[in-house]
Amino acid sequence: MDETTPLVFYANRNCPYAQRSWITLLELSVDFEYQEISLGKDNKTEWFCALNPNGTVPVIKHGETVVYESLVVNEYLCEVFGGKGGTLMPSQLAARARARILMTRCDSKLVKLSYSYLSHKRTEDAAKDDQLRAHLEEELLLLDAAIEASGGPYFLGETVSLVDIAFMPFFERMNVALSAWKDFEIENSARVHLNTWLEAMSNRETYRQTRLSPERIKELYSQFLNVDYFKRVGVAL
């Protein structure tokens, strides 16, 4: 298996996890075949579950090798294609560990805190709403400090990495949804490094090719919020 082996990318246009791998494929200039998976339908089929027993996107099939879980897919892509269009992981072991700590934190903290706050109904418990908002603010400050410590504009310093790619699809959605439903702006003068990071990421051509429009995010998220989708899939408390 090498960079000349055909690669199929199974994804869904609305999925932030799949978007992570899509940006990575584009950043690494990989040739691939995009296959759209209709969620609730194609991902329940026998053929898809044989590829990924979790029934989730993204999945890549690279020759006979099948990889799923967005963060694992992205590291695999870096390992195989990292030499071609530039690498997205640092070479030093300590920096690689730091990158993994931040990527894991994206899923265990930022994603959970932001979807929990977004899906909480203030009318049901205002004190809890304030608490969820405060937890999210704290996490955003921590991320701001992480970017500051690296010198920015990216999480690991001057060059874009898998860490930035892991976070961006969620910031894209939260930027729109938290503003629309919670009157909460991600861009805030208390988080200058995060603001600069968001701008640097938003200007990247690879990301721009994969982004959802704000209108589409609002349309999707109003459906999701109506059916308590985020709680059902386990990204909100």
Ligand X SMILES: N[C@@H](CCC(=O)N[C@@H](CS)C(=O)NCC(=O)O)C(=O)O
Task: Summarize as ranges the residues that interact with ligand X (CB under 6 A).
Answer: 12, 15, 17, 39-40, 43, 55-58, 69-71
| Minimum CB–partner distance for residue 8 and ligand X (Å) | 16
* Cβ-based nearer residue to ligand X, 10 or 197: 10
* Cβ-based nearer residue to ligand X, 111 or 152: 111
CB atoms < 10 A from the CB of 8, how many?
15
| Minimum CB–partner distance for residue 148 and ligand X (Å) | 27
* Cβ-based nearer residue to ligand X, 12 or 114: 12
Query: At 46, which amino acid appears?
Result: E
* Cβ-based nearer residue to ligand X, 117 or 230: 230
| Minimum CB–partner distance for residue 174 and ligand X (Å) | 15
The three-class DSSP label of residue 118 is helix
CA-derived radius of gyration, the chain: 18
Query: At 160, which amino acid appears?
Result: V
Q: Which residues contact 73 (CB under 8 A, 6 or more apart)?
A: 20, 21, 24, 58, 59, 60, 67
* Cβ-based nearer residue to ligand X, 29 or 104: 104
- Return phi, psi of residue 87, to 5°: -100, 155
Q: Phi/psi class of residue 3: alpha, beta or left (left: φ > 0; alpha: ψ in -120 to 50)?
A: alpha
Is residue 161 a contact partner of residue 88, using CB atoms and an 8 Å limit? yes
CA atoms within 13 A on the CB side of 89: 25
| Minimum CB–partner distance for residue 107 and ligand X (Å) | 7
| Minimum CB–partner distance for residue 96 and ligand X (Å) | 19
* Cβ-based nearer residue to ligand X, 99 or 144: 99
| Minimum CB–partner distance for residue 35 and ligand X (Å) | 13
Query: How far is 34 from 52, CA to CA, in rounded Å?
Result: 17
Query: How far is 2 from 63, CA to CA, in rounded Å?
Result: 9
